Chain A
Amino acid sequence: MGLKIVVMIKQVPDSQEVVIDPVTFTLNRSAARNVINPADENAIEAALRIKDKLPDTHITVITMGPPFAETALLDAMARGVDDGLLVSDRAFAGADTYPTGLTLAATITKIGDVDMIFAGEESTDSSTGHVGPGVAEFLGIEQASYTSNSWIEDGYVYAERELEDGIETVKMKPPSLITVVTNANVPRNATLRMKIDAIRKGIKTWTLADIELKPEWVGLKGSPTVVKSMRTMNEKKREGKKFKAGEMDKFVDELVSKGILKL
């Protein structure tokens, strides 16, 4: 029996097409078409690279979303993922990152015997980065976030985390969860053969009943987030002063005089 991997993805409005309304300054998402969240494409590729080395690995790509998220799952399957699973139910609507993580964790539990879970570092439409780590916490497994590379060696999962001051390599016992940074790798293209095969195979769909969670734990009801108010930030006018090299003393004096720096 080979490795069993789950990749969690999300369909998001194409960030290049989300426009900011010039009057209200709110995001207009309706003009944007949906794409696979960019970091999730890197997560799919990271999983496929493990399968490249260990061909009897089985990868399932999952997403919680509306029925049209099928496109994203088929796309992943056409790149080499074995199965696509859509977790879709009206009860999931309005979920914040907490019940989303719970729903996905329950789905993974139901799939069973999963060795590795991949996810993108964060989604471009909300940028919280909560869901991946949240799933690991719900499942009570080890995790490595913001990774650029990962592999399996002697039965352990290794991952390289991109930190501000360098790269940290972590060794984890499976099952473990990895979130992948955007541009960690170059995702492969689907072939026509695989696109055809994916369409013929189709995806599986699970509802709330399949993952055995209570209705009050998911969707809006299960979401602790309360949005109190929203406002747009005004751009701060900068002075744009320039100091030449060798004027460090002048620069420091200026900062001190303005109370920005305290000596």
Chain B
Amino acid sequence: MSEFDVIVVGAGPAGASAAIKLASAKVNVLLVDRADPPGSKNVSGGVLWGDSLTQVAPDWEKGPVERYVEAKGVSFLTKDSRISLDFRSKKFGEYKSGYTVLRTKFDAWLAKKAKDSGVMLVSGVTVDKIAMKDGKAVGVEQGGETITSDAVILAEGANSRIAYDSGLKRKPTDRNTALGVKEIIKLPEKTITERFGLTSPKMGFASEFVLGFLEGGVRAGGFLYTNKESLSIGAVISMAELRKNNKTYSFNVIEQFKEHPFVAPLLEGGRVEEYSAHLVPEGGISADSLNGNGYMIAGDAAGFTFSNGLVLQGMNYAIVSGIVAAESFLEKKEKGIQAGANFANYTENLSKTFVMKDMMNFKGIDKLTWSKYVHQTLPSIAEEAMLNMFSENGQPKKHLYKILTKSMSSHEESKLGMAMELLKMLRRM
């Protein structure tokens, strides 16, 4: 007999959600995190989209969330300009957006929630490996000892050492990973509310950026989110482009972003409180298989993140995958599972959710989001067109179509080629 029904490795949104779901069904769960306290090694851009957490923690909106996103932006930055879409809506009440969160606080809260619901929570211990016996996961190995369980849910995050060392996942290539670098900038609550034109101190702004102006042609996306009394600002850098360039320091990319003439004023008077970095999975599912005998992989460790340039999500995918992993265990348990059973039902159940559907429908979108077209061509065409459209130099006005085609013709690519790219982009996004 196993010591635990389920061992969950990693107390992030995926692991904690799985553990709570299991414990509420009276399953004997061990949740292990290598950080002490749990959450203190977790980083993300900072918006938790949707309300999937309600399933396991109905009161989460009263937990340590920062601001509710009522304003969402997307900006292209060239060296001298910022071209933005800024969408604000009162309808973000009936249509769910998301809350900005600070993961160290938020994940610690969620882990405590797990503990309070009956999970045995252990922090500050690093699991070495998944214990395998006859091709089945039978628990975890730590410090030369095996702790046994009927199933293991692996939710260790993007830097998946246990999955690599247990042979469940290959190390990602440059294409399957990006480097996120982030800073927390302290500002008074009132300043943030006023500066970003928010309707109340509870409301927030979240914007993604295409950083089309970086030195040496390095490609990176930027993000800027408002917390209660701080801003989360960061850059997500393409590993492939950084390697090709091989002279830009990753830690300087975020500084270039912060110093942009139309970003710097947003940060004015702020004090940097924290610097952090974390890998971001790219390009969809990264695990060789999401399930096997006795184990399931959830969250970032499985590669469940979504980015199409306009939207950057991960925590909601992590939460849903964690909950589905828990449900898949419960399903097997009802049928009287044996330790080490195959959890093929996890992959099946996931495919019914938006998690798997998005992974499939948007497969390969990273090629587009990291393309030269998005990072250089498009921003410069837009900049030129805007300058022509919004400046007044005493000449007769031109039709928008004329302005656009003129801006396009100054680029090496053919107009038809660019139009095709644009169409392709719209269809894939």
Contact = CB atoms under 8 A, between A and B. Distances in A.
Do any beta carbons of A and B sit within 8 angstroms of each other in the complex? yes
Interface stretch (B84-92, B117-125, B166-174, B395-403): B117-125
A196 interface: yes
A16 to B, nearest CB: 12
The prevalent SS among residues of B at the interface is strand
B16 interface: no
Given A33-B37, A196-B147, A191 B142 contact: yes
B144 to A, nearest CB: 8
Nearest to A19: B273
Contacts of A33: 37
Contact of B140 (A189, A190, A192, A195): A192
Nearest to A195: B122
Contact of B120 (A190, A191, A193, A196): A196
Interface in A93-115: none
A33 B124 CA distance: 15
A192 B122 contact: yes
A192 B125 contact: yes
Nearest to B141: A192
Contact of A193 (B37, B124, B143): B143
Interface in A117-144: none
A193 B127 CA distance: 11
Contacts of A190: 124-125
Contacts of A196: 30, 120, 122, 147
Contact of A191 (B30, B37, B143): B143
A199 B125 contact: no
A196 B143 CA distance: 13
Nearest to A192: B142
B32 interface: yes
A193 B122 contact: no
A69 B241 CA distance: 49
A195 B125 contact: yes
B143 A199 contact: no
B37 A192 contact: no
A108 B125 CA distance: 31
A191 B122 contact: no
B268 interface: no
A193 B32 CA distance: 11
Interface in B98-139: 120, 122, 124-125, 127
Interface string B140-160: 101101010000000000000
Chain B interface size band reads 10 to 19
A75 interface: yes
B145 A192 contact: yes
Contacts of A75: 124
B120 A192 contact: no
Contacts of B30: 196
Interface in A181-200: 189-193, 195-196, 199
B258 to A, nearest CB: 22
A41 to B, nearest CB: 12
Nearest to B271: A22
Contacts of B147: 192-193, 196
A74 B125 CA distance: 13
A75 B147 CA distance: 19
Given A192-B125, A193-B147, A199 B120 contact: yes
A164 to B, nearest CB: 35
Contacts, number: 32
Q: Which of B30, B122, B127, B147 has the most CB of A within 10 A?
A: B122
Contacts of B143: 189, 191-193
Contacts of B145: 191-193
A196 B120 CA distance: 8
Contacts of B37: 33
Nearest to A75: B124
Contacts of A193: 142-143, 145, 147
Nearest to B121: A199
A188 to B, nearest CB: 10
Nearest to B4: A196
Contacts of B120: 196, 199
Contacts of B127: 192
Contacts of A195: 122, 124-125
Nearest to B36: A75
B154 to A, nearest CB: 15
Counting chain B CB atoms within 10 Å of each CB, the highest count among A33, A192, A199 belongs to: A192
A193 B125 CA distance: 10
Nearest to A200: B120
B142 A199 contact: no
B119 to A, nearest CB: 11
Contacts of A189: 125, 143
A192 B120 CA distance: 12
Nearest to B115: A199
Nearest to B146: A193
B124 A199 contact: no
Nearest to B123: A195
Contacts of B32: 192
A33 B32 CA distance: 20
Nearest to A34: B37
B397 to A, nearest CB: 54
Interface string B204-241: 00000000000000000000000000000000000000
B103 to A, nearest CB: 15
A75 B124 CA distance: 9
A13 to B, nearest CB: 14
Contacts of B122: 192, 195-196, 199
A199 B147 CA distance: 15
> Closest 3 CB pairs between A and B?
A192-B142, A191-B143, A195-B122
7 contacts: A75-B124, A192-B127, A192-B140, A193-B143, A195-B122, A195-B125, A199-B120
Given A191-B143, A199-B122, 20 more contacts: A189-B125, A189-B143, A190-B124, A190-B125, A191-B125, A191-B142, A191-B145, A192-B32, A192-B122, A192-B142, A192-B143, A193-B142, A193-B143, A193-B147, A195-B122, A195-B124, A195-B125, A196-B120, A196-B122, A199-B120
